[in-house]
Amino acid sequence: MNDIIIITGGAGFIGCAVSEKLIGQGYRIIAVDNLHPQIHPMQKRPDALHPDVELVVADVCDADFWDGFLVDNHPHTVVHLAAETGTSQSLTESNRHAMVNVVGTTQMLDAFTRHDAKPQAIVLSSSRAVYGEGMWRAQDGHAFYPDVRSHQQLSSAEWDFSYNGQKAVPLSHRAGNVMPNPSSIYGSTKLAQEHIIKSWCAAMQVSASILRFQNVYGPGQSPFNPYTGIINLFHRAAYAKLPIQVYEDGVIGRDFVYIDDVADSVVASILNPADSLRLLDVGSGNVTTILEAATLIAALHGAPEPVICGKFRDGDIRWAVADADPLDEELGVRAKVDFASDGAKLVGEWLLEKGYME
């Protein structure tokens, strides 16, 4: 019988892209997904999920589900993607985020133990959110970890960080060099997930690959979820010929990494399991400001120039970009799709083709 790969959250954006790439490689692929209504309002199997993938509709927090399921299905590899993913939403729905991201993970691991069904490897989708504001460097070379930006600070339009009155610049995220310091509840739950997977896998002698994704975008991302997918939102506003509202002063920096490149990093982690633990950042290595992204997308649709509205979201971080070298060195994966020249346009074409611009 073929080895089983379980992909929790496998009906989601990244899950569908990962399983698509695994088809034909000799695995039996099972997606365990509760078809969360915020992502799947029709509550049906997404068209993007390859027909050869078995979909089991279930909640990862449900111990009874795991008990029934694991009787016949012992996984070779688990790709753990199921999560609540809203950074701003996690501030007001923190329990929901903690339940799925933390307790959902522990429920799954306990069930593997109960059924003597520990996999050989686990791949966890973590997030750049674990870094919070990350590490910055002042003009005199002093490196420091900024605190969470307070509501008061943001209300006074103090967007950036300084050190002893000196201007400072953010450093690229590189696991091991930059320590996690989450500034959102979502980020805290993702960091807890990392620690849980790390401890469990070390004790159980299970290979663990923890991948910290930057801002993943591309065709297939739910256009229905108002809390994630900024590129989709920008396209829809621009298509309606509305000026895109850009938050803060527009100089929020993000590393937009294309879905295919992210799926490649997950597949490479599955096919080349870590000896024990690997912790890698997954990004393009290039930064795009929110204003640059909005200006580019507005131009694609002939929409008016974006408007810098000065609004902000508590918990949002100022700047995030990955050091792309370690992923390449360890797994030979480097992002291929450039946001400005190709990626942004591909999303617009997909939204139009699927009728999601209305």
Ligand X SMILES: NC(=O)c1ccc[n+]([C@@H]2O[C@H](COP(=O)([O-])OP(=O)(O)OC[C@H]3O[C@@H](n4cnc5c(N)ncnc54)[C@H](O)[C@@H]3O)[C@@H](O)[C@H]2O)c1
Choosing from 107, 209, 215, 265, the residue that interacts with ligand X (CB under 6 A) is: 215
SS3 of residue 17 by DSSP? helix
Helices (H), 205-320: 230-239, 259-271, 290-301
Catalytic residue of the set 131, 186, 217, 258: 186
Site string for ligand X, 35-74 (x = CB under 6 A): xx--xx------------------xxx-------------
User: Which CB sits closer to ligand X, 69 or 213?
Assistant: 213
81, 15 contact by CB (below 8 A): yes
Total number of residues binding ligand X (CB under 6 A)?
Answer: 29
30 counts as binding ligand X under rule CB under 6 A: no
Q: Is 213 in the site for ligand X (CB under 6 A)?
A: yes
The 166-205 contact track toward ligand X, x by CB under 6 A, reads ------------------------x---------------
* Closer Cβ to ligand X, 57 or 357, answer by number: 57
The conformational region for residue 227 under phi > 0 = left, psi -120 to 50 = alpha, else beta, is: alpha
- Name the minimum Å distance from CB 280 to ligand X: 13
Q: Is the dihedral of CA 253, 356, 20, 99 positive or negative?
A: positive
Strands (E), 202-322: 207-213, 215-217, 245-246, 253-254, 256-258, 277-282, 288-289, 307-308
Alpha-carbon distance of 313 to 290, in angstroms, equals 14
Query: 110: closest CA among 73, 60, 76, 72?
Result: 60
Does 237 interact with ligand X (rule: CB under 6 A)? Answer: no
Binding site for ligand X (CB under 6 A): 8-9, 11-15, 33-36, 39-40, 59-61, 81-83, 85, 100, 104, 125, 127, 190, 213, 215-216, 222
**Catalytic site residues?**
186
